[in-house]
Structure 1
Amino acid sequence: MPPVNAFAAVSATAPLQPIIIERREVGPRDVLIDIKYTGICHSDIHEVRGDWGPCPYPLAPGHEITGVVAAVGAEVTRFAAGDRVGVGCLVGSCGKCDACLRGQEQYCSVKAIWTYGDTDVDGTVTQGGYATQIVVTDRFVLHVPDALPLDTAAPLLCAGITTYAPLRRWGVGPGKKVAVVGLGGLGHIAVKIAHALGAEVTVLSQTLSKKEAGLALGAVDYRATGDPATFQELAGAFDLILSTVSAPLPMDSYLSMLTVGGVMVNVGAAPEESGMHLRLLNRQRILTGSLIGGIAETQQMLDFCGEHGIGAEVEVIAAEQINEAYERVLASDVRYRFVIDVATLA
């Protein structure tokens, strides 16, 4: 294949910059995608800055990808040139282990292949969506419903499935009371999805600065966790608490807001150990975590969002603004997700 324009990190400290990368040739089960939009996930920043360990530079991040099929391999039947498609956090797995057979490829016991910074099927380093094209095995390509614009759909490929999967896993629906901790890139989509599922949604945030926005997204209440009275007034109030923040939380306080048998799910960083065990034991509460979702569930999420008109609230930027956008993400200065217009890489 011809070289592909990309925007990549060349070290943990240098700004991201334009580079040329190679994509593998389109095999019989591959799909070649012209990328249109790629969301900026906080994970991109952690990865390229080496926060999670050694990084194979140069690296083009990006796992919230939408675009249009340019070509397909000879054995591909589910996609054709011109189809609107998406690619999320996964581009490969063994397909044979118990997790894969259950549709949970993200937990593949042999080797899940992540969209960037991993080893691809041909032995090269996977390069993500900060690029004009990508080649992906057809099993890991998703159809994007016509009802969803490609720019607002891009963050659904990570933030959408990350929040949708636990909400469905724990039976969120009419009659359920759900609290979403944080109203950022993950949290704002969680509010939309939980509301569309029929739940009564409350946002828990440090301050009330985003209250008006939270209520507009579908929440019925918005409380400041910086006020100690919040935890007293909401004791035992929620069937499920979905934490979308990466900062350490006073877990005892949050667990006290769960009803009997209530569930707290962390999709941000795992919480620090605390004296929470007694609260879990005494009232059969559950503290768990969740990591994206499988491919079939991701397609289900996209179809659900298409039916309900759910997309991310985005600020579309040019490639030359990526480094500035990273700093703004770290400063929580975006409502709620940056999306790169990949045409500006060409």
Structure 2
Amino acid sequence: MTSVAAYAAPAAKAPLERTTVERREVGEHDVLIDIKYAGICHSDIHTVREEWGKTHFPLTPGHEIAGVVTEVGSGVTRFKVGDRVGVGCMVDSCRECENCRGGVEQHCLKGNVGTYGSRGRDGEITQGGYSTHIVVDENYTLRIPDGLSLDVAAPLLCAGITTYSPLKNYGAGPGKKVAVVGLGGLGHMAVKIAHAMGAEVTVLSQSLRKKEDGLKLGADHYYATADPRTFEELRGNFDLIVSTVSANVDFNAYLGLLKTGGTLVNVGAPENPISLQLFALIGGNKNLAGSMIGGIAETQEMLDFCAEHGLGAEIELISADRINEAYERVVASDVRYRFVIDTATI
């Protein structure tokens, strides 16, 4: 085991502080990654504040990781020293179940091993990317194309794939009308990706405060959901709605914005249960779906797509001593649109 510098939450809801975490020695199929940048995802905040349930402390969050390979195991074939790589929300799975064999490892029937806060196959609790180095199996490591700088690529490992997967799988493209609910860390990438796919894109946000940003990012239209006229004007308008918000919204109202046979996909994860009137689904044969990141192959596909179209995240680069400040600003929706930690400052 090797100790590396990191930032960790010592207990639930406690401020993160500088510390060290242990990394395993590089195994036969492992790569050692010198982490250059780590994105701050709202999931990190939910987890360290135990808003999604109990977790293990001390905990180093971070599953939007971009860096450079500095060592490879003897059996590694996918990467070499010097390669630019990323790590997303999972670092292992059973590799044997139907889902793993089918390329949807995120839905491993035995449970995937999350990048942080999960018990790995070695019995140890995983620690994430708010650190200087990480050791990851090559099969759960992604190649970052040369067309993407590492700082703007880091958030793609969660925010990018979380929005790319439902947009692709539910048919965003030319001739389709797509709405994105919320223009935050996830939403701004959903707008960029949907636009690059050729869809007509509408942002549905609480207010018009970010309208100028939304249009610059690729939205064709921008509406305030606080205005009840929005739900009247847009009724029956969309083929696909992607909800990116982690707060409870009126799903019944949003279902009313779908065309017959349209789909509302939720990628946000509110802390509390939602209320749903089933007649809102039955009328118009509408669909309410969920989506969770993507498999390794699909994540690589997303990175290649983003490089081809020049799609990096909009970021605010911070030093590690500003992580706690950044958490408060994320909760207050005061970031445009993803905080990224310069891990050289850890």
Structure 2-normalised TM-score? 0.98
Name the aligned partner's letter for residue 344 of structure 1.
T
Q: Say whether 1:262 aligns with 2:226.
A: no
Please give the alpha-carbon distance, in whole angstroms, between the structure 1 residues aligned to 2:8 and 2:273: 33
Please give the alpha-carbon distance, in whole angstroms, between the structure 2 residues aligned to 1:73 and 1:86: 17
Rate the CA distance shift 1:85–1:221 in 2: closer, same or farther, 3 A.
same
- 1:210-249 to 2 correspondences below 5 Å: 210-249=210-249
Q: CA deviation at 1:123?
A: 1.2
Q: CA deviation at 1:282?
A: 2.2
Partner of 1:318: 319
Rate the CA distance shift 1:275–1:266 in 2: closer, same or farther, 3 A.
closer
Partner of 1:49: 49
Name the aligned partner's letter for residue 104 of structure 2.
Q
CA displacement, residues 163-189 of structure 1 (integer Å, 9 cap, x when unaligned): 000000011110000000000000000
Please give the alpha-carbon distance, in whole angstroms, between the structure 1 residues aligned to 2:94 and 2:339: 32
Partner of 2:93: 93
CA displacement, residues 248-282 of structure 1 (integer Å, 9 cap, x when unaligned): 11122111110011000000026844353112112
CA displacement, residues 279-319 of structure 1 (integer Å, 9 cap, x when unaligned): 21121110010011100000000000000000100000001
Partner of 1:305: 306
CA RMSD of aligned residues (A): 1.1
Name the aligned partner's letter for residue 162 of structure 2.
T
Q: How many residues are treated as equivalent by the alignment?
A: 345
Partner of 2:332: 331
Identity of aligned residues (%): 64
Partner of 2:250: 250
Partner of 2:195: 195
Q: Say whether 1:287 aligns with 2:269.
A: no
Please give the alpha-carbon distance, in whole angstroms, between the structure 2 residues aligned to 1:317 and 1:110: 37
CA displacement, residues 215-243 of structure 1 (integer Å, 9 cap, x when unaligned): 00000100000111101100110000000
Between stretches 246-255 and 330-339, larger displacement belongs to 246-255
> 8 Å contact 2:248–2:274 — kept in the other structure?
no
SS of the counterpart of 1:283? coil
SS of the counterpart of 1:202? strand
Please give the alpha-carbon distance, in whole angstroms, between the structure 2 residues aligned to 1:273 and 1:126: 31
Please give the alpha-carbon distance, in whole angstroms, between the structure 1 residues aligned to 2:13 and 2:325: 14
CA displacement, residues 8-36 of structure 1 (integer Å, 9 cap, x when unaligned): 00011321111111101111011110000
> 8 Å contact 2:183–2:214 — kept in the other structure?
yes
Task: List structure 1 segments (4+ residues) > 6 angstroms apart after TM superposition.
Answer: none
Q: Structure 2 stretches of 5 or more lacking a match?
A: none
Q: CA deviation at 1:246?
A: 1.4
Partner of 1:150: 150
Partner of 1:21: 21
Q: Say whether 1:141 aligns with 2:173.
A: no
SS of the counterpart of 1:163? helix
> 8 Å contact 2:117–2:125 — kept in the other structure?
yes
SS of the counterpart of 2:213? helix
Partner of 2:345: 344
> 8 Å contact 2:68–2:83 — kept in the other structure?
yes
Partner of 1:278: 279
Rate the CA distance shift 1:275–1:331 in 2: closer, same or farther, 3 A.
closer
Please give the alpha-carbon distance, in whole angstroms, between the structure 1 residues aligned to 2:18 and 2:98: 41
SS of the counterpart of 1:125? coil
Name the aligned partner's letter for residue 323 of structure 1.
N
Please give the alpha-carbon distance, in whole angstroms, between the structure 2 residues aligned to 1:261 and 1:182: 23
